[in-house]
């Protein structure tokens, strides 16, 4: 969740580090800081935005250093707890993403040895442990210090007396090394170094590297290895706002193009084993498990409806964070793990657990080279490009598009359904563009929702997960308490929440659930609740029933969740805009959740 950066080369490190930190702001943070060697080791940090830190930090002339954006987990957000952290001699500086589970006994032992702590963080113990083990070789000291640590980490370390290197290591948290000519970078994520280089090394679990101006040396445990260099296809321009006020609205508008491009080209699939999508066609049918978190979980719920309806297979969908605490059970033959970043801690823990039981793993992710892709037997990439706003929009529809492509690759799918789905996907980009071009009703509803203290979202069938996603989006970016329900469940408790001051947003399709949805809407209407209906154009059943109608283009019901999702993304965005919320960086949230 936090952002780690490092630089060594010929540029001014201060400017380079600060620019890299700005590019990691989307990950979410409440404090930031940099450490640069400029004669002495100098640290500037505070519980402020990166721009504010840049304005107050004195100019430095050093050409190597490290930086960090912190999302508080251990110790409140303040200047003392901001990274980098130093040892007692102030010759070592450390930035860290992850969780040190045994920091309390380590801190107690170090204090008894005379170490003085200045923060409440778990990270500070790393700096003091390195100080204990340092005898002229920083890499050796870092390796020995990390051997005492239980938990997860992505760390970058500098030492005042070793101005020719950065030492970095990872376990359970992502870390990459960017390669240049006479300069190199370290970062938690690719966007931090876009614009500088597109050549990267993705560090694996339990690896340590020494990064110098001229290259890197990499060790897995005690064994030195040759770094595997990858080329990033994303561009720096893709990670800029491109004239939009916020990344979120830019990324919403990119969705027609992303779907259109994936229609015309085959999705890149990194296959390590036999093509696991073929497992879906086996007879007898296998058991299938889908694991995900947050928005990706909603995509998994839609996948369940589609696979069960079109392929006749049974699918279990579970939150990865809950699955990890289940007792042992007979593992499914195939697990599909959906994760935007490919670094979601709960998803990765579940993948490792399933691998131990012999389950085949298929990952759906947006980030080539991510940890999930290395754990999986097969990876299908969404091709959404960098998504900067914390609220997932284009990555959600791109995940759904991959799910449809998986269905189309399955020989179990009947020909008439293949033709139907292929045509529906071909027509979908223009339908989404139609929503983007006609937003009058959406903005009108957003002005109304901005005055509400709570909202209920309902749907049935394929659009029940979309109701959940709509509620999540409104909570994320507009801070309005919102709940999503299966429409048929209102009578089993949630109907008690319906009142004249609690609007209900209903997501309708022209399918077998339509009449039942209208019945539910009448039950809501007689109780005085304002009704907002999202439905295909020309739905006469809503006349005189809904207070607001957001008409959307007619599409095949199989792909209607993607279109309805775009409507709800815009509704959340414009509601947050009315309220003046920090749309791209909602409070308390991070883009990549790399801790449990």
Rounded Cα distance, 320 and 322, in Å? 5
* pLDDT, position 438: 86
Pick the catalytic residue from 2, 32, 293, 410.
Answer: 2
Domain 3-238 sits in CATH at: 3.60.20.10
Rounded Cα distance, 438 and 442, in Å? 8
Q: Do 67 and 17 contact (CB within 8 A), yes or no?
A: yes
Altogether, the residues listed in the chain come to a count of 596
Q: Do 576 and 247 contact (CB within 8 A), yes or no?
A: no
Q: Express each pLDDT in 179-198 by its tens digit.
A: 999 999 999 888 888 889 98
Q: Do 124 and 117 contact (CB within 8 A), yes or no?
A: yes
* pLDDT, position 590: 64
Q: Do 201 and 227 contact (CB within 8 A), yes or no?
A: yes
CATH architecture of 433-581: 3-Layer(aba) Sandwich (3.40)
C-alpha 357: how far from its chain's center?
A: 27
* pLDDT, position 586: 86
Rounded Cα distance, 215 and 355, in Å? 34
* pLDDT, position 273: 34
Q: Other C-beta atoms within 10 Å of 267: how many?
A: 16
User: What's phi and psi for 316, nearest 5 deg?
Assistant: -105, 135
Q: What is the CA radius of gyration of the chain?
A: 25
* pLDDT, position 280: 61
Report domain extents, the chain. 3-238, 242-413, 433-581
Low-confidence ranges of the chain (pLDDT < 50): 265-275
10's tokens: 């010929």
**Same fold? 3-238, 242-413:** no
CATH architecture of 242-413: 3-Layer(aba) Sandwich (3.40)
Pick the catalytic residue from 42, 45, 401, 591.
Answer: 591
* pLDDT, position 420: 94
Look up 2 and say whether it is catalytic: yes
* pLDDT, position 482: 94
Q: Where are the alpha helices (DSSP H) in 172-264?
A: 247-253, 255-264
Q: Express each pLDDT in 217-228 by its tens digit.
A: 999 988 899 988
């Amino acid at each position: 969740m936090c952002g780690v950066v490092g630089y060594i080369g010929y540029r001014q490190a201060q400017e380079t580090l600060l620019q890299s930190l700005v590019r990691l702001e989307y990950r979410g943070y409440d404090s930031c800081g940099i450490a640069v060697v400029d004669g002495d080791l100098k640290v500037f940090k505070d519980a402020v935005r990166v721009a504010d830190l840049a304005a107050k930090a004195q100019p430095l002339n050093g050409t190597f250093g490290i930086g960090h954006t912190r999302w508080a987990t251990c110790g409140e957000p303040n200047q003392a707890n901001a990274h980098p952290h130093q040892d007692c001699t102030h010759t070592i500086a450390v930035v860290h993403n992850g969780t040190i589970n045994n920091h309390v006994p380590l801190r107690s032992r170090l204090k008894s040895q005379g170490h003085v702590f200045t923060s409440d963080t778990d990270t500070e113990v790393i700096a003091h442990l390195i100080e204990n083990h340092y005898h002229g070789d920083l890499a050796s000291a870092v390796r020995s210090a990390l051997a005492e640590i239980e938990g997860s980490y992505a760390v970058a370390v500098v030492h005042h007396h070793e101005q020719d290197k950065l030492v970095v290591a990872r376990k359970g948290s992502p870390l990459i090394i960017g390669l240049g000519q006479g300069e190199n970078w370290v970062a938690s994520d690719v966007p931090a170094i876009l614009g500088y280089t597109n050549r990267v090394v993705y560090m694996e679990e339990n690896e340590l590297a020494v990064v110098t101006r001229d290259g890197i040396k990499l060790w897995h445990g005690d064994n030195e290895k040759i770094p595997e260099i990858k080329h990033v296809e994303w561009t720096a321009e893709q990670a800029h706002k491109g004239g939009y006020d916020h990344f979120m609205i830019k990324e919403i508008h990119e969705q027609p193009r992303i779907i259109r491009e994936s229609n015309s080209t085959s999705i890149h699939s990194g296959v390590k084993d036999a093509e696991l999508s073929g497992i879906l066609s086996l007879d007898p049918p296998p058991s299938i498990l889908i694991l995900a978190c947050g928005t990706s979980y909603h995509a998994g719920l839609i996948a369940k409806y589609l696979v069960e309806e079109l392929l006749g297979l049974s699918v279990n969908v579970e939150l990865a964070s809950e699955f990890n605490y289940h007792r042992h059970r007979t593992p499914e033959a195939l697990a599909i793990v959906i994760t935007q970043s490919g670094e979601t801690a709960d998803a990765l823990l579940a993948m490792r657990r399933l691998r131990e039981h012999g389950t085949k793993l298929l990952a759906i992710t947006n980030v080539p080279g991510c940890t999930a892709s290395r754990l999986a037997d097969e990876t299908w990439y969404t091709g959404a490009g960098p998504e900067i706003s914390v609220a997932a929009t284009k990555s959600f529809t791109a995940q759904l598009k991959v799910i449809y492509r998986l269905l189309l690759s399955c020989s179990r799918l009947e020909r008439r359904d293949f033709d139907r789905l292929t045509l529906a996907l071909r027509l979908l980009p223009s339908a989404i563009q139609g929503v983007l071009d006609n937003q009058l009703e959406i903005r009108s509803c957003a002005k109304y929702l901005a005055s509400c203290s709570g909202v209920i979202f309902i749907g049935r069938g394929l659009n029940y997960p979309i109701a959940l996603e709509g509620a999540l989006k409104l909570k994320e970016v507009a801070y309005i308490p919102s709940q999503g329900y299966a429409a048929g469940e209102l009578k089993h408790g949630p109907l008690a929440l319906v009142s004249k001051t609690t609007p209900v947003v209903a997501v309708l399709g022209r399918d077998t659930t339509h009449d039942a949805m209208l019945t539910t809407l009448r039950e809501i209407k007689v109780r005085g609740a304002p009704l907002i209906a999202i439905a295909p154009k020309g739905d006469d059943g809503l006349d005189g029933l809904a207070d607001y109608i957001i008409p959307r283009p007619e599409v095949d019901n199989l792909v209607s969740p993607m279109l309805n999702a775009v409507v709800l993304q815009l509704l959340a965005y414009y509601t947050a805009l009315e309220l003046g919320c920090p749309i791209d960086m909602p409070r308390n949230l991070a883009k990549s959740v790399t801790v449990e």
